[in-house]
Amino acid sequence: MKIFAVFGNPIKHSKSPIIHQLFAKQTGVLQNYKKICVPINGFYKIFFSFFKNGGIGANITIPFKKKAYKLCDILTERAKYSGVINTVKIINSKTILGDNTDGIGLLKDLQNLKFINPKSNILLIGAGGAAQGIIYPLIKFGCNITIINRTYENTKKIIKFFKNVKKINSFKLEDLFLFHNKFKYHLIINATSSSMKGNIPNIPSSIINPDIFCYDLFYNFNKTPFLKWCLIHGAKKISDGIGMLIEQAAYSFYLWHGIMPNTKIIIKKYKKYI
């Protein structure tokens, strides 16, 4: 039986094993998929040990996506232009292939929700690996992206990485408070870890209105703190990241097995587990 895993810290909340179990049952694939909590300073050791002991592929989540990127021998196009990865596959027992399925998974979910079109202006909150990993497919689709983050230095690093891309810009968080009435956004994406900690990103409430779409990359049994806050301030169209989670997992599954699961069926079944 082929062995797969998801690496992260924290990892207890991860629903990836459930999703991949549903994929395996739907497609008839035999696999063992587990979650591994990795010490913050122990990623390299556990990563290579897993593959040395028979691991075939893995998903990478917070906070190791940038570290894993540097370990890959070859990269898919979307991984190369993201600067982070969330999926790896071992080829010929030695070559590490890195992919990023987060962005394409998010785009697929946003399209399913009808939250996005090629002319959408997106306000992206956050400048970590989660944010960086979703930018390339959204820009390729045609969207314009503005990044804000409480630490502007981190924002500048992402802008530097995408220095030749015209449809991405950023400004300081305080400028959003000063000039928010001058900006019109169709979609706000929370890519910070605030929802995992029970917090809300620091953005002006006046930017929320009934016509704007609000999306949280993270998910919860109930609405995330960010989505609750958006509803309080007038949002009517919200979604957490459950759909993205399933869509990105499907692209990982396809990379490993060459079979694309039917995600619409999986989303319905998945809701029984939460």
SS3 for 31? strand
CATH for 103-240 is 3.40.50.720
**Residue 60 near residue 85, CB atoms below 8 Å:** yes
pLDDT values of the chain reduced to their tens digit, one per residue, 274 residues:
999 999 999 999 889 999 999 999 999 999 999 999 999 999 999 999 999 999 999 999 989 999 999 999 999 999 999 999 999 999 998 899 999 999 999 999 999 999 999 999 999 999 988 999 999 999 999 999 999 998 999 999 999 999 888 899 998 888 888 777 778 899 999 999 877 777 788 899 999 999 999 999 998 778 999 999 999 999 999 999 999 999 999 999 999 999 999 999 888 777 655 5
The pLDDT of residue 97: 98
Task: Spell out the domain ranges in the chain.
Answer: 2-100+243-273, 103-240
The pLDDT of residue 174: 85
Q: Which helix (H) or strand (E) holds 138?
A: helix 129-141
The pLDDT of residue 194: 75
The pLDDT of residue 267: 85
Same fold: 2-100+243-273 with 103-240: yes
The pLDDT of residue 93: 85
Alpha carbon distances (Å) from 15 to 6, 22, 273: 10, 11, 9
Minimal CA–CA distance to 221: which of 13, 4, 7? 13
**Active-site residue set:** 65
> 239 is written with which tokens?
């979604």
List all residues 6 or more positions away from 110 whose beta carbon is below 8 Å from its beta carbon.
Answer: 116, 187, 215
Q: Which CATH superfamily is domain 2-100+243-273 in?
A: Leucine Dehydrogenase, chain A, domain 1 (3.40.50.10860)
Minimal CA–CA distance to 128: which of 174, 193, 176, 218? 193
Q: Which helix (H) or strand (E) holds 56?
A: strand 55-60
The pLDDT of residue 37: 98
Q: CA-based diameter of the chain, in Å?
A: 57
